[in-house]
Amino acid sequence: MLPTRIETQRLLLRPLETVDLDDVLEYAGDPSWGRFLPVPKPYTRKDAEAFIALWTNREWGDNLCWAMVKDRKVVGGVDLRMGPTEASLGYSLARPLWGQGLAAEACAAVVAHAFQGRPQLDSINARADARNWASLRVMEKLGMQLVETLRANLPTGGDLAEDHRYRVTRATWEATHG
């Protein structure tokens, strides 16, 4: 079982709560934030309510979602979908905080806990639109390597684009992060 609360140098990661609605709506309502994400456009209050309901009504188990909290405000999130030996990582961060290393900091903490807490976990995967260079950089900071590029209609509006898929293995993570 992975922890529900994780503290990093600058963030608190914790489960989403219904009181986070306005914070989620604030960052997710920014069109730049969702440009490469499969989210409704425009992102409405009902969308934020549905998102929070989805994650607050799940048991803490194999599909996990942490709210990223900075200065007592939810500014993004990290999710981890666990399989028997692989996991898939996702993340997002409010646009005003881009470029500060916060997404990488949050994801590194989640990845570390996943590898420490699940001995059978061999690798963690993530993917991003190839045009989303900032997200690709987060994956590289995690020690992830590009393993596949697919050209497909992405769920961000049907654009035909390249989808980069990255992976970090337990061995690589342990070699680079102790």
Q: What is the pLDDT along the chain (178 residues), one digit of tens a residue?
A: 799 999 999 999 999 999 999 999 999 999 899 888 888 889 999 999 999 999 888 887 788 999 999 999 999 999 999 999 999 999 999 999 999 999 999 999 999 999 999 999 999 999 998 999 999 999 999 999 999 998 866 555 566 778 899 999 999 999 988 6
CA geometry: angle at 95 spanning 32 and 104, to 5°? Answer: 120
Q: All domains of the chain, ordered by start, with CATH?
A: 6-177 (3.40.630.30)
Q: Name the packing angle between helices 102-117 and 133-141 (round to 10°).
A: 40
CA 56, CA 12: separation in Å to the nearest integer?
17
